Structure 1
Amino acid sequence: MSEAVPREPTRVLMIGGSAHHPGGLESYCARAMEAVARSGRTIALTWLESGTAYLSPRHLPGIARVIAAMRRKRRDGFAVAWVQASNLTELALAEVAQRLGYQVIVTPHFGAASRMETHGLARAVAARLLARADRVALLFASQAEEICVPRTAEHAVVGTFLPDASLAGPPIDRAPPDHVRLLHAGRFSEGKGTFRMVAFCAALRARGVPFSARIIGRGDAATSARLHAAVAAADLGAVIAIEDWRDEAGLIAALREADVLVHLSTLDSFPLIVLEAMACDTYPIVFDMAGAGDMVARFGGLSLPRDAEIEPVAARLGAIPTAVLRARARVIGAGVRAAYDWPVIVGGLERIVVDVASR
């Protein structure tokens, strides 16, 4: 009996991200590359940066080079283009890929606050381009309800790639303190919930709840000065530490040391910091935005209406014994780590690619 000939992996060209403006999208692409290289079985992934973030005339020659590279890769046998779309130019590259003969998967990296949603003409163009994709691969299940994914577009959930360190699980804290350890991390701003964190801490202290808190991030000089002033005005300097932003390893370490992530943001469509915190056994408190609400509904935590008053939220948290809070967080963490383990996410991506490539 002859041995079966191993099937060549489907070559997938991942398009998106900008080296001149690294951020969450670029981290997503880098982790996708590492995850597929580590555990992929039926696909081989190559990353082509689009260079379209904050597009200006000086970046336009780069678009021509990207299209030329897409053409070369197609001639070399790449069958599928997986476009990471954070702006209209990246969505337009999905259209270019289709015209070059690729089967096209698009993952939208934008939410309701994006100009592609708030600007009527941009929204119409984005919806039309998404409708032409062979598959829309969503970051989370309810994303299609938040943005302009047409009902006629075929879509599936591909998910996200969490930092490898967060999926390792937290170290055993052999002597955790009796008080609750709070954390807020992000760019300092009203929209991100930085000042709600201060108000939340003030409400906890007024109720006699023992806690310590850290605010990790950075902002412009005026916002940073205002934050320090707010902490001083509330006489919380002894319990709130304001720290500079950390690299990935430092942030994961901070999440592992916290009991509760307070992320009362009204801006984030899919706040990765919340999912990372949950993976580190940290209990999340969020507003019921599409992405964050989806995370809490699926795994656990506290999700609040955007008009919720701070004092009742503090009362709800203060009523949960610290040991119970930590036990709930451990259950949440186990669920997130199982669902977002890299082989699980890669397996889902492979199923989408195989389905699209077989057309």
Structure 2
Amino acid sequence: MTQREIFFVANEVNELGGVGRWQHQMARLLSERGHRVRIIGISPPEVPMDLGAHPPYETLTLYDRRPPGRRKPRLGLGRFDPAVRRQEASRRAVAERLSRAFRAARPGAVIIVTQVWAMEWVALADTAGHLVIGMSHESFGATRHSSRFARVRRYYQDVDRLLVLTQEDADRWAVEGLTHVSFLPNPLPLTPDAPSPRTEKAVASIGRLDHAKGVDLLLDTWAEAAPRQPGWLLRIYGTGEHEAALRRQCTDLGLDDSVEWAGRTDDVVGALRRSSVFVQSSRGEGFPLVLLEAMACGVPCVAFDCSPGVREIVRNGEDGLLARHGNVSELADHLGRLMADENLRDTMGERARQNVRRFAPEVITRRWEELFAFLER
């Protein structure tokens, strides 16, 4: 195995969230394989994640605070606008710090740009002699309807490889002309020693309390499902800007007796082992780690089929149940089916625990190393 120098260049070194968790897991896995790994963030995080006392990799943040977005030139001045020229000069000065780090690395280093905003600085840096892999951690559909679509097409068109999370998304990017695209799923974040006993009448939801995670849709779902299965509890883990509005919705729906607001948890395994079913009601996802975690704990999942990543993880009817995107009644029916049938919960939970091993860390890490070797040819 060739030992390499690997740079992760991200929006932030330690932003709390799915991309941040993935980034640090992969940095640790590759470090354990003997690679020298560094994580470089463009700006400090709004909500930091604890990296532990001695992470096995180096970190660097380029700005003291988040830099402003690119200025548009004033009418008639174009690229000669002094304010635009000053901003570009500042960006190039910061990009030079990246260049110095890349130049100090041995030839053949790998630069993995985990988010397209960070690629704006990598594009200004000297990457000569190194592989550059650009990544998108969201579905093609989510990117297509955002400003990131144009930036992916612009900044990733000349990288050595564009990497997404599923074959379906890779195919859609190829149709857009980015034919240097491949896919690699996220690795399993945890491997608990024992599964959930699935004896507690509890359904778990874990995620931010914001629009994207669709907890408002989950409450509507629970209003249909809970009366059919008395005695069950919906335990909602997470915090966020919509919490007050969601609590009011819960009260208005008459659900206060069957919903528990559990707040943020650092013990995901413990939360899942106290549950018999996991539910995800997101409006959009990339490759959700929490579904992998629930399945690793032997907890069958019910979710909206909102992205290729969700249906890549959950095999509908085999190890979990998927409802059509946004169809609250169908999600409620699936929940009710699992809540009512202990044998079905156990069967799907055990299948989930076995099936999710295809995303085992050692499997995904080996695929990364195979990609490095392929691109080096």
Query: Post-superposition shift, 1:213?
Result: 1.4
Kept in 2, the 8 Å contact 1:13–1:46? The answer is: yes
RMSD over aligned Cα atoms: 3.2
How many residues are paired up? 336
TM-score using structure 2 length: 0.77
2:210 counterpart SS class = coil
The match for 1:217 among 228, 238, 261 is 238
Answer yes or no: is 1:189 the counterpart of 2:216.
no
Who is 2:362 aligned against?
343
Report what 1:205 is aligned to: 226
**Alignment pair present for 1:170 and 2:189:** no
Contact 2:195/2:296, CA 8 A, preserved across alignment: no
CA contact (8 A) 1:82 1:107 kept: no
Residue aligning to 1:124: 150
Query: Does the 8 Å contact 1:15/1:83 carry over to 2?
Result: yes
Contact 1:255 1:277 in 2 (8 A): yes
Q: Report the TM-score, using the length of structure 1 for normalisation.
A: 0.80
Which structure 2 residues correspond to residues 229-240 of structure 1 after superposition, within 5 A?
A: 229-240=248-259
1:95 to 109, 123, 126: 123
* 245 and 204 in structure 1: CA distance in 2 versus 1, 3 angstrom threshold: same
Q: Give the counterpart of 2:135 among 101, 107, 119.
A: 107
Determine if contact 2:30/2:37 at 8 Å carries over to the other structure.
yes
325-334 vs 56-65, greater mean Cα deviation: 56-65
Establish whether residue 303 from structure 1 lines up as the match of residue 333 from structure 2. Answer: no
Aligned residue in 2 for 1:47: 39
Q: What one-letter code is carried by the residue in structure 1 that aligns with 2:289? A: L
Asked if residue 9 in structure 1 is aligned to residue 3 in structure 2, the reply is yes
Deviation string, structure 1 residues 283-340 (Cα, Å, up to 9, x no partner): 1212112221222248732122124242x4333443341232122112112221x222
Task: Encode CA deviations 1:221-275: one digit per residue, 9 max, x unaligned.
Answer: xx3233223322333222211111112xx12311222222211111323322222
8 Å CA contact 1:117, 1:147 repeated in 2: no
Q: Distance in 1 between matches of 2:255 and 2:101?
A: 59
CA contact under 8 A between 1:50 and 1:66: conserved in structure 2? Answer: no
CA contact (8 A) 2:301 2:320 kept: yes
Q: Would you tell me which structure has more helix in proportion to its own residues?
A: 1
| Structure ranking higher on relative contact order (CA contacts 8 Å, 6+ apart) | 1
Alignment identity in percent? 19
Contact persistence 2:207–2:237 (CA under 8 A)? yes
Determine whether 1:79 maps to 2:105: no
Q: Distance in 1 between matches of 2:69 and 2:326?
A: 43
**Closer, same or farther in 2 for the Cα pair 1:65/1:342, shift >3 Å?**
same
Aligned counterparts, 1:256-295, within 5 A: 256-290=273-307, 291-295=309-313
How many Å separate the matches in 2 of 1:277 and 1:102?
38
Residue number among 313, 318, 321 corresponding to 2:336 in the alignment? 318
Task: Name the SS for the 2:156 alignment partner.
Answer: helix
Q: Matched residues in 2 for 1:148 and 1:64: separation? A: 34
CA distance in 1, matches of 2:144, 2:44: 18
